[in-house]
Amino acid sequence: MTKHHETKPTGAGKSSFRLIDSAKFFRELDLNKGATFLDVACGWGAYSLAASDIIGKDGQVYAVDLWEEGILSLRNQAGKGIQNITTFVSDVAQSIPVENDCVDVCLMATVLHDFVGDKVDRQVMKEIVRVMKSEGTLAIVEFKKKDGPPGPPKPIRLSPEEVVKIVSAFGFQQNRYTEVGPDNYLQIFIKKD
Protein backbone atom coordinates (compact mmCIF):
# COMPACT_ATOMS: atom_id res chain seq x y z
CA MET A 1 0.00 0.00 0.00
CA THR A 2 1.11 3.52 -0.63
CA LYS A 3 1.77 5.87 2.21
CA HIS A 4 -1.10 8.26 2.92
CA HIS A 5 -0.20 11.82 2.07
CA GLU A 6 -0.97 14.33 4.80
CA THR A 7 -1.38 17.22 2.38
CA LYS A 8 -3.13 17.31 -0.94
CA PRO A 9 -0.94 17.98 -3.98
CA THR A 10 -1.13 21.48 -5.45
CA GLY A 11 -4.44 21.89 -7.27
CA ALA A 12 -5.91 18.56 -6.12
CA GLY A 13 -9.66 18.31 -6.45
CA LYS A 14 -10.00 21.11 -8.98
CA SER A 15 -11.02 20.04 -12.48
CA SER A 16 -11.20 22.10 -15.64
CA PHE A 17 -13.48 19.54 -17.31
CA ARG A 18 -16.70 21.40 -16.47
CA LEU A 19 -15.17 24.72 -17.60
CA ILE A 20 -14.30 23.61 -21.11
CA ASP A 21 -16.25 22.71 -24.23
CA SER A 22 -15.51 18.99 -23.91
CA ALA A 23 -16.99 18.15 -27.33
CA LYS A 24 -14.65 20.67 -28.98
CA PHE A 25 -11.74 19.44 -26.84
CA PHE A 26 -12.18 15.82 -27.97
CA ARG A 27 -12.73 16.87 -31.61
CA GLU A 28 -9.41 18.73 -31.51
CA LEU A 29 -7.69 15.85 -29.74
CA ASP A 30 -8.84 13.44 -32.45
CA LEU A 31 -8.58 10.46 -30.12
CA ASN A 32 -8.91 7.17 -32.00
CA LYS A 33 -10.45 3.83 -31.05
CA GLY A 34 -7.78 1.53 -29.66
CA ALA A 35 -5.47 4.38 -28.55
CA THR A 36 -3.44 4.41 -25.35
CA PHE A 37 -4.30 7.57 -23.40
CA LEU A 38 -2.36 8.87 -20.39
CA ASP A 39 -3.99 11.38 -18.04
CA VAL A 40 -1.19 12.98 -16.00
CA ALA A 41 -2.35 14.28 -12.60
CA CYS A 42 -5.87 13.13 -13.47
CA GLY A 43 -7.59 14.26 -10.25
CA TRP A 44 -11.13 12.85 -10.14
CA GLY A 45 -10.62 11.46 -13.65
CA ALA A 46 -13.32 13.29 -15.64
CA TYR A 47 -11.10 13.41 -18.75
CA SER A 48 -10.12 9.75 -18.27
CA LEU A 49 -13.74 8.61 -18.12
CA ALA A 50 -14.64 10.56 -21.26
CA ALA A 51 -11.56 9.25 -23.11
CA SER A 52 -12.43 5.70 -22.05
CA ASP A 53 -15.71 5.91 -24.00
CA ILE A 54 -13.99 7.22 -27.12
CA ILE A 55 -11.09 4.74 -27.31
CA GLY A 56 -13.34 1.77 -26.61
CA LYS A 57 -12.58 -1.71 -25.32
CA ASP A 58 -9.41 -2.08 -27.39
CA GLY A 59 -7.97 1.16 -26.00
CA GLN A 60 -6.25 1.77 -22.70
CA VAL A 61 -6.48 4.72 -20.31
CA TYR A 62 -3.76 5.21 -17.72
CA ALA A 63 -4.84 7.67 -15.02
CA VAL A 64 -2.10 8.80 -12.65
CA ASP A 65 -2.27 11.14 -9.67
CA LEU A 66 -0.52 11.60 -6.35
CA TRP A 67 -3.88 12.47 -4.80
CA GLU A 68 -5.26 9.23 -3.40
CA GLU A 69 -8.81 10.49 -2.86
CA GLY A 70 -9.17 11.39 -6.55
CA ILE A 71 -7.82 8.01 -7.69
CA LEU A 72 -10.13 6.14 -5.29
CA SER A 73 -13.10 8.07 -6.65
CA LEU A 74 -12.09 7.26 -10.24
CA ARG A 75 -11.56 3.58 -9.36
CA ASN A 76 -15.04 3.52 -7.85
CA GLN A 77 -16.60 5.01 -11.00
CA ALA A 78 -14.52 2.84 -13.33
CA GLY A 79 -15.47 -0.22 -11.28
CA LYS A 80 -18.99 0.07 -12.69
CA GLY A 81 -18.25 -1.91 -15.84
CA ILE A 82 -15.40 0.14 -17.34
CA GLN A 83 -12.62 -2.25 -18.30
CA ASN A 84 -10.10 0.00 -20.04
CA ILE A 85 -8.96 2.34 -17.23
CA THR A 86 -5.92 1.53 -15.11
CA THR A 87 -5.28 3.88 -12.19
CA PHE A 88 -2.09 4.61 -10.27
CA VAL A 89 -1.32 6.65 -7.18
CA SER A 90 2.09 8.02 -8.06
CA ASP A 91 4.15 11.21 -8.02
CA VAL A 92 4.54 11.82 -11.76
CA ALA A 93 7.69 13.87 -11.12
CA GLN A 94 9.24 10.65 -9.78
CA SER A 95 7.62 7.98 -11.90
CA ILE A 96 4.80 7.40 -14.34
CA PRO A 97 4.28 3.65 -13.80
CA VAL A 98 3.83 2.60 -17.44
CA GLU A 99 6.21 1.13 -20.01
CA ASN A 100 8.51 3.13 -22.28
CA ASP A 101 7.10 4.19 -25.66
CA CYS A 102 3.53 2.99 -25.07
CA VAL A 103 1.40 6.15 -24.96
CA ASP A 104 -0.32 7.54 -28.07
CA VAL A 105 -1.91 10.57 -26.40
CA CYS A 106 -0.83 12.24 -23.17
CA LEU A 107 -2.97 14.87 -21.45
CA MET A 108 -1.96 17.46 -18.89
CA ALA A 109 -5.16 19.33 -18.07
CA THR A 110 -4.54 22.51 -16.05
CA VAL A 111 -1.63 20.95 -14.16
CA LEU A 112 1.49 22.18 -15.97
CA HIS A 113 1.31 25.52 -14.11
CA ASP A 114 1.28 23.55 -10.82
CA PHE A 115 4.35 21.54 -11.89
CA VAL A 116 6.12 24.78 -12.81
CA GLY A 117 5.11 26.33 -9.47
CA ASP A 118 6.37 23.26 -7.61
CA LYS A 119 9.56 23.32 -9.74
CA VAL A 120 9.07 19.73 -10.97
CA ASP A 121 8.07 20.44 -14.59
CA ARG A 122 11.41 19.20 -15.99
CA GLN A 123 11.16 15.86 -14.14
CA VAL A 124 7.53 15.42 -15.24
CA MET A 125 8.42 16.18 -18.86
CA LYS A 126 11.28 13.64 -18.79
CA GLU A 127 8.84 10.95 -17.65
CA ILE A 128 6.32 11.96 -20.33
CA VAL A 129 9.01 11.73 -23.02
CA ARG A 130 9.96 8.25 -21.75
CA VAL A 131 6.44 6.81 -21.91
CA MET A 132 5.26 8.42 -25.17
CA LYS A 133 5.52 6.92 -28.63
CA SER A 134 7.35 8.80 -31.36
CA GLU A 135 4.84 11.05 -33.19
CA GLY A 136 2.55 10.76 -30.14
CA THR A 137 0.28 13.64 -29.15
CA LEU A 138 0.80 15.76 -26.05
CA ALA A 139 -2.30 17.79 -25.18
CA ILE A 140 -2.03 20.62 -22.68
CA VAL A 141 -5.01 22.52 -21.32
CA GLU A 142 -4.19 25.67 -19.39
CA PHE A 143 -5.93 28.76 -18.08
CA LYS A 144 -5.67 31.89 -20.20
CA LYS A 145 -3.26 34.41 -18.69
CA LYS A 146 -5.90 36.69 -17.19
CA ASP A 147 -7.46 37.34 -13.82
CA GLY A 148 -9.79 34.65 -12.45
CA PRO A 149 -11.77 33.05 -11.03
CA PRO A 150 -11.95 30.32 -12.14
CA GLY A 151 -8.38 29.12 -12.00
CA PRO A 152 -5.20 30.09 -10.21
CA PRO A 153 -3.98 33.67 -9.71
CA LYS A 154 -2.80 35.35 -12.94
CA PRO A 155 0.95 35.31 -12.05
CA ILE A 156 0.86 31.50 -11.77
CA ARG A 157 -0.84 31.01 -15.14
CA LEU A 158 1.14 30.08 -18.25
CA SER A 159 0.83 31.86 -21.56
CA PRO A 160 0.79 29.70 -24.71
CA GLU A 161 4.33 30.96 -25.44
CA GLU A 162 5.55 29.83 -22.01
CA VAL A 163 4.03 26.38 -22.58
CA VAL A 164 5.75 26.11 -25.98
CA LYS A 165 9.08 27.06 -24.41
CA ILE A 166 8.73 24.41 -21.68
CA VAL A 167 7.69 21.46 -23.88
CA SER A 168 9.72 22.26 -27.01
CA ALA A 169 12.87 21.81 -24.91
CA PHE A 170 11.86 18.13 -24.70
CA GLY A 171 11.45 17.53 -28.42
CA PHE A 172 7.79 18.43 -28.84
CA GLN A 173 6.63 20.50 -31.78
CA GLN A 174 3.46 22.58 -31.55
CA ASN A 175 0.79 21.32 -33.91
CA ARG A 176 -2.05 23.68 -33.01
CA TYR A 177 -3.65 26.01 -30.50
CA THR A 178 -7.36 26.47 -29.88
CA GLU A 179 -9.60 27.98 -27.26
CA VAL A 180 -11.77 25.41 -25.51
CA GLY A 181 -13.76 27.77 -23.34
CA PRO A 182 -13.88 31.32 -22.06
CA ASP A 183 -11.08 30.63 -19.57
CA ASN A 184 -9.06 27.80 -21.11
CA TYR A 185 -6.96 26.97 -24.15
CA LEU A 186 -5.67 23.72 -25.60
CA GLN A 187 -2.28 23.25 -27.21
CA ILE A 188 -1.50 20.09 -29.15
CA PHE A 189 2.13 19.03 -29.56
CA ILE A 190 3.69 16.14 -31.47
CA LYS A 191 6.65 14.20 -30.07
CA LYS A 192 9.57 14.39 -32.50
CA ASP A 193 12.58 12.12 -31.99
pLDDT at res. 10:
73
Q: Which domains, from first to last, does the chain contain?
A: 22-191 (3.40.50.150)
pLDDT at res. 178:
98
pLDDT at res. 1:
38
pTM of the model: 0.94
SS3 sequence of the chain? CCCCCCCCCCCCCCCCCCCCCHHHHHHHHCCCCCCEEEEECCCCCHHHHHHHHHHCCCCEEEEEECCHHHHHHHHHHHCCCCCCEEEEECCCCCCCCCCCCCEEEEEEECCHHHHHHCCCHHHHHHHHHHHEEEEEEEEEEEECCCCCCCCCCHHHCCCHHHHHHHHHCCCEEEEEEEECCCCEEEEEEEECC
pLDDT at res. 11:
72
Along the 193 residues of the chain, how does pLDDT read in single tens digits? 334 444 566 776 678 999 999 999 999 999 999 999 999 999 999 999 999 999 999 999 999 999 999 999 999 999 888 999 999 999 999 999 999 999 999 999 999 999 999 999 999 999 999 999 999 999 999 999 999 899 999 999 999 999 999 999 999 999 999 999 999 999 999 999 8
